[in-house]
Amino acid sequence: MTLGRLGRTREAVDQMLRVVDLAPRNAKAHERLAIWYYYAGDDDDAWRHVDAARELGLEPPGQFIALLEARSPATRRPAAAD
């Protein structure tokens, strides 16, 4: 999270995108990318990566989901049915 602490959110997103490109089935990478997209203000992409993490079996932290839902309820797409 060092880049975020330095205010370099866009660089953090770019680095996590590289991780996801190299390991697309890494649920934790999708979760982290969702968080960085949230910090960058890109809620649609944040939700996309929340859904990807869930599809891979990882439920992102409830507090993060609550923050994202509070900020962008209109953009929320329903998660895929199990």
Q: All domains of the chain, ordered by start, with CATH?
A: 2-75 (1.25.40.10)
Give per-residue pLDDT as tens, 25-73: 999 999 999 999 999 999 999 999 999 999 999 999 999 999 999 988 7
pTM of model > 0.85: no
pLDDT (0 to 100) of residue 58: 97
Give per-residue pLDDT as tens, 21-32: 999 999 999 999
**Close Cβ partners of 61 (under 8 Å, ≥ 6 residues apart):** none
For residue 78, pLDDT over 60 is answered with no
Question: To the nearest 10°, the Cα dihedral for 72, 15, 29, 61?
Answer: -40
pLDDT (0 to 100) of residue 1: 52
